[in-house]
């Protein structure tokens, strides 16, 4: 797998909200942090820089049952958390704070609220009490694990279909 080291967009892409930091050597070592305090419910970005993804990848975001996009911005560096501080609302086309975020705090969303069956699974290092461990996509978790979360409509539909067919 080739991992692009140099972003093809102009950085910083969202200076009022996102500052990209590096925390370790090697791949997947960067993460988005809040460049300023962000109050709950602030819309920090939209998907206007996004383009359709030719295939799903570690970098793509699922926006419907069949479609994926590439973000083409520093939003790419939003890590996953099982107890996140933003949502990627693909129905409204916006990224929103779901609680007050302090300056310097990592900006995270729950990948299971957009991704059904991820191209690349990983062992979650969010270290929150809600941590689900291996993150592979919503397909691999019981619907109950997401019942108190904001979940995009395509994931709700896919969970309903999966659970309806498993009853037959
Ligand atoms: C879209 S990238 C996010 C930015 C990434 N940290 C980077 O430097 O490019 C997604 C990848 O980041 C890593 N990642 C994101 N959230 C993580 C988490 N909570 N625990 C461990 N790895 C994570 C995984 O390797 C995942 O495939």
Q: What proportion of the chain, given as a percentage, has pLDDT over 90?
A: 89
Ligand 1 atom 26 nearest Cα: 58
Ligand 1 binding pocket, CB closer than 6 Å: 28-31, 58-59, 76-77, 79-81, 120, 122, 124-126
Closest approach atom of ligand 1 to CA 28: 8
Contact 97, 110 (CB under 8 A): no
Distance 3 CA to ligand 1 centre (A): 12
Task: State pTM to two decimals.
Answer: 0.95
For the cut 80, the answer to whether the pLDDT of residue 2 exceeds it is no
Ligand 1 atom 27 nearest Cα: 58
From the list 150, 146, 127, 128, the residue with the least C-alpha distance to 138 is: 146
User: In the predicted model, what is the mean pLDDT of residues 67-79?
Assistant: 98
pLDDT at 5: 53
Closest approach atom of ligand 1 to CA 78: 3
In which band, very low, low, confident or very high, does the pLDDT at 6 lie, cut at 50, 70 and 90?
confident
**Range name among 8-22, 78-92, 154-168 with the lowest pLDDT average:** 154-168
Pick the CATH number of 18-167 from 3.30.450.40, 3.40.50.720, 2.170.270.10, 3.40.50.11540: 2.170.270.10
Q: Which DSSP string corresponds to the chain?
A: ----SS-SSPSPSSTTTEEEEE-SSSTT-EEEEESS-B-TT-EEEESTT-EE-SS--TTEEE-SSS-EEE--SGGGG-EE-SS-SEEEETTTTEEEESS-B-TTPBPEE-GGGT-SS-SS-EE-----TT--SEE--GGGS-GGGGTTS---HHHHHHHHHHHHHHH-
ipTM of the complex in this document: 0.99
In which band, very low, low, confident or very high, does the pLDDT at 23 lie, cut at 50, 70 and 90?
confident
pLDDT tens, position by position, 76-87: 999 999 999 999
For the cut 70, the answer to whether the pLDDT of residue 1 exceeds it is no
Q: Which residue has the tokens 């957009």?
A: 114
For residues 151 and 154, give the distance between their C-alpha atoms in angstroms, rounded to a whole number. Answer: 8
pLDDT at 167: 73
Distance 59 CA to ligand 1 centre (A): 9
User: In the predicted model, what is the mean pLDDT of residues 115-122?
Assistant: 98
pLDDT at 168: 67
- Average pLDDT of every residue of the chain: 94
User: In the predicted model, what is the mean pLDDT of residues 12-32?
Assistant: 91
Ligand 1 atom 14 nearest Cα: 79
For the cut 70, the answer to whether the pLDDT of residue 4 exceeds it is no
Ligand 1 atom 8 nearest Cα: 28
């Amino acid at each position: 797998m080739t991992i692009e080291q140099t972003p093809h967009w102009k950085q910083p892409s969202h200076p009022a909200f996102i500052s990209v930091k590096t925390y370790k050597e090697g791949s997947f070592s960067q993460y988005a942090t809040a460049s300023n305090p962000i109050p709950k419910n602030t819309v920090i970005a939209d998907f206007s820089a996004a383009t359709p993804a030719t295939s799903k990848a570690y970098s793509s975001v699922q926006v419907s049952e069949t479609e994926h996009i590439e973000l083409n911005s520093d939003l790419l560096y939003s890590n996953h958390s099982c107890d996140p501080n933003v949502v990627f609302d693909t129905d409204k086309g916006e990224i929103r704070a779901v609680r007050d975020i302090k300056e310097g705090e990592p900006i995270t969303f729950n990948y299971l609220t957009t991704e059904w069956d991820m191209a690349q699974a990983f062992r979650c290092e969010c270290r929150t009490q809600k941590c689900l461990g291996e993150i592979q996509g919503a397909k691999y978790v019981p619907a109950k694990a997401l019942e108190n979360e904001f979940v995009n409509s395509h994931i709700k539909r896919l969970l309903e279909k999966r659970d309806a067919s498993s009853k037959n």
